[in-house]
Structure 1
Amino acid sequence: MRTYAWLAFGLLLLAIGAAALLSGAFPGLESPPRAEQAAALAGLPEGQVTRAREFRSELRPSGYGSMLLSLGFALVLGLTPLGARLVGLCGTHWLMRGVLGGLLLVTLGQILTLPLAAWRESIVRRYGLSTRDWAAWGVDVLKGYLVGVVLTAVALAAFYTLVRYAPRWWWAIGAAGAAVLVMVMSFAFPVLIEPVFNKFTPMPDSPLRTELMAMAADRGVPVKNVLVADASRRTRAVNAYVSGIGPTRRIVVYDTLLKEAPGKEVEAVVAHELGHAKHNDVVWGTVAGALGAAAGVIGLYLLGGWTPLLRRAGVESITDPRAIALIMAVAAIAGLLLGPVQNFLSRGMERRADAFALSTTRDRETLAAMQSRLALVNLGDPDPPAFEYWMFGSHPSAVERIAYARTGRFE
């Protein structure tokens, strides 16, 4: 049985690599020369750059602290018998232990990092980026927690039901189920999850809406509608995106962007997002995520044969509900290691979308102005430290994007 699992695991890893290559993101990985980036930085208002860097500097302790605290909490519970003991307090029935035990650990982790999240919100508010009061912040935190609870409970119930009634083949069935779940969530997220956090209203008929729909049609990216998100109720940050697949695809524009930026810059932002849709970045990301989820389930099965690890966690089997803390610890380590790889590929997709936007608008100054506005209004460091860029940067830096807008080649 383990031979089949190893074979499937290897094939899935190859499939993930193939999906990354076929996505076509790699040709867009080159960034503009450093001299051009330095010129882009010099062209930004010095005072605003200083303020953005001060803001990011103040956020670092809470960000790193939350990451390290979450990781340490997961490792302490998962690599010692403590996690198994906590789960064991959640009843004797296997399903109750699996679901309630998992939710207990998730809740404890949320409570542990909540003060750091509040500290972060206080900084964001002090710099004027947050428009929420503490009550609204608490509601948003609670919404995120409840959505997580529902999804986690369903996943745990399905997993422990499967391992109980299909003890030999749970890894194969579970891998297929995890892949399907990722694909379903990608399709349903814009319809079911996004409205929990924002209100979306159709953009009224206007020259801007007509131009956005025409641009999408001209570039061969059919969209269902143009929606405006009420982002201003929680932030002054500006953004726009294209979400959904097939019949759920729509252009979403923050109301803050409509207030802050002229119409040409809004078109430039949307052109970038249409580039993601044109190159099927959401589809490729979903495929890679589905394959990765399947590989994760099989990897978990294979990890269950590592007896010393199970003993360290105080359990005899990876399918024991009391091993949920160990599973969470493994997931935390995997997430930390895979994050830079995912961000590396994401930066390639973002550069390709920038190239699409430049080719679509053929307006270098507007595209450069839009990138400057996104960085400065959102208080992003336009040229972040190398380690943070490599570790956490899902997008090219602002100076890279400004330099590309001014010197990049049209497609």
Structure 2
Amino acid sequence: MSVQRLLLICLVCTGVVLLVAIVVTTPWRPLPEPPGGFTHPDAARDFTAAEIARGRSLAEAARPPAYLSMALSLVVSLVLGLTPVGTRVIEAVARPVGGGWVWRVLLGGLALALIGRLATMPFAARLEVVRRRYGLSVQSWGSWWLDLAKSFAMSTGLLLLVVLGLYALIRALPRAGWLLAAGAGALLVVAISFLYPLLVEPAFNKFHSMPDGPLRTSLMQLAERDGVPVRDVLVADASRRTTALNAYVSGFGSTRRIVVYDTTVRDADQREVELIAAHELGHAKRNDVLHGTLISAAALAAGVCALGLLMTCAPLLRRAGADGAGDPRSLALLLAIVAVIGTVAGPGEMLISRRLEARADVHALDLTRDPDAFIRMQHSLAVANRSNVTPNPILQFLFASHPTAPERIALARDWEKLHGKG
């Protein structure tokens, strides 16, 4: 059996498993239809004209650098991968150290990643200027550059290790290498998700236990009533970068943690913080991080099989100037294909994320039984974060990881129709 046929079978199998898992486990409708039908989201009902205009103005200012950066990143990847330019870069940077395949992968990968980052850096800086103008960012340029450098070092370091292992497998086992890489990649996704709170988050924020007091007591009691084991509630020093309010849950098993921004503790009232925490408890109780991790692992396994099929396609290899999938000169092509697969998969990932967020909202309402306070909290978050409460529906579908504030408020009103005031 040829390598391509083997990869095609693997792609079909993993694709079917992934599709079934997504269809079965994603909460497509977090609430049953209430009497009188679902509430239509209406920003004008809950937000003033000034609040709507401010959020829309920020979105319009941020949209050009954000989307141009994404587009340019993809274009640069395709130019490097589908022309001899990428091959020449790889050979040029590896030639001074002998040009061996390991150096081609490591130095070539570093050079290609650096080219991509430098190409989009002006747009990232422009986006930071916009965030400062609207009062969302408060960090210094020195801190911004340091964050950028740390992010590049960590992501590129992991990338280089992964592609070095992939090429080692393909060169040693031309037939089975891709299948082994698919399995190893899935395991790596699980490992990274588990270790992320311990290795990555501390590089960008400092965390401390929420001090003893009424707020901590109420949150711990909320978790106990919910039946979610929470050893601690952590506070992140987000205020040195942003004025935005936020909270999140990360990790799973022994690394699971609930984190609240210090801006949220400082600027939101206790009931709002409780509702935000109840939403995060919904993620924890439903093991949404683990669910997302396993879905991502299956998606990566399918993606590696698709990558293998394309990387063994002779016309693509010829266009990239490489002799075969194991030739390190094919690295630029590999990165281009990964960029395309990631772009195509993005809207599906965002759709699943929005459904999980809606279910966590329902969990918060079930736990607190306070739809009025939930609506006030969503309004406060949207105003504090300068959210665009009237986004373009197409852009919302393609790029948004959360429902809009009016959609979340409408959900609360539907919950109230079903359950009353609580």
| TM-score of the superposed pair, with normalisation by structure 2 | 0.93
By how many angstroms is 1:35 displaced? 6.1
Could you tell me how far apart the structure 1 residues matched to 2:327 and 2:173 are? 14
Question: Which structure 2 residues correspond to residues 8-407 of structure 1 after superposition, within 5 A?
Answer: 8-28=10-30, 36-38=40-42, 40-91=43-94, 92-407=99-414
State the secondary structure of the residue aligned to 1:90.
helix
Q: How many pairs align?
A: 410
State the secondary structure of the residue aligned to 2:93.
coil
By how many angstroms is 1:17 displaced? 1.2
Could you tell me how far apart the structure 2 residues matched to 1:268 and 1:160 are? 48
By how many angstroms is 1:34 displaced? 8.1
Tell which deviates more after alignment, 360-369 or 289-298. 289-298
Structure 1 unaligned regions, length at least 5: none
Structure 2 unaligned regions, length at least 5: none
What code does the residue aligned with 1:37 have?
A: P
Tell which deviates more after alignment, 15-24 or 387-396. 15-24
Indicate if the aligned counterparts of 1:19 and 1:287 stay in contact, CA closer than 8 A.
Answer: no
By how many angstroms is 1:148 displaced? 1.2
Indicate if the aligned counterparts of 2:46 and 2:379 stay in contact, CA closer than 8 A.
Answer: no
State the secondary structure of the residue aligned to 1:242.
strand
Indicate if the aligned counterparts of 2:234 and 2:258 stay in contact, CA closer than 8 A.
Answer: yes
For 2:8, the equivalent position in structure 1 comes to 6
By how many angstroms is 1:308 displaced? 1.3
Could you tell me how far apart the structure 2 residues matched to 1:176 and 1:183 are? 11
Could you tell me how far apart the structure 1 residues matched to 2:132 and 2:113 are? 27
Tell which deviates more after alignment, 291-300 or 232-241. 291-300
By how many angstroms is 1:90 displaced? 2.6
State the secondary structure of the residue aligned to 1:26.
coil
What code does the residue aligned with 1:101 have?
A: G
By how many angstroms is 1:354 displaced? 0.8
State the secondary structure of the residue aligned to 2:243.
coil
State the secondary structure of the residue aligned to 1:251.
strand
By how many angstroms is 1:244 displaced? 1.4
Could you tell me how far apart the structure 2 residues matched to 1:72 and 1:234 are? 31
Tell which deviates more after alignment, 317-326 or 181-190. 317-326
Q: Deviations over 1:3-51 (max 9, x none)?
A: 332222111111111221332422339999786312x533212212211
State the secondary structure of the residue aligned to 1:201.
strand
Q: Deviations over 1:318-369 (max 9, x none)?
A: 2211111111111111112111111111111111111111111111111011
Q: How large is the Cα RMSD of the aligned pairs? A: 1.8
Distance 1:25 1:35, change over 3 A: closer
Could you tell me how far apart the structure 1 residues matched to 2:250 and 2:132 are? 28
By how many angstroms is 1:219 displaced? 1.5
Could you tell me how far apart the structure 1 residues matched to 2:82 and 2:38 are? 44
By how many angstroms is 1:312 displaced? 1.5
What code does the residue aligned with 1:87 have?
A: I
Could you tell me how far apart the structure 2 residues matched to 1:24 and 1:47 are? 36
Indicate if the aligned counterparts of 1:19 and 1:284 stay in contact, CA closer than 8 A.
Answer: no
What code does the residue aligned with 2:271 have?
A: K
State the secondary structure of the residue aligned to 2:249.
strand
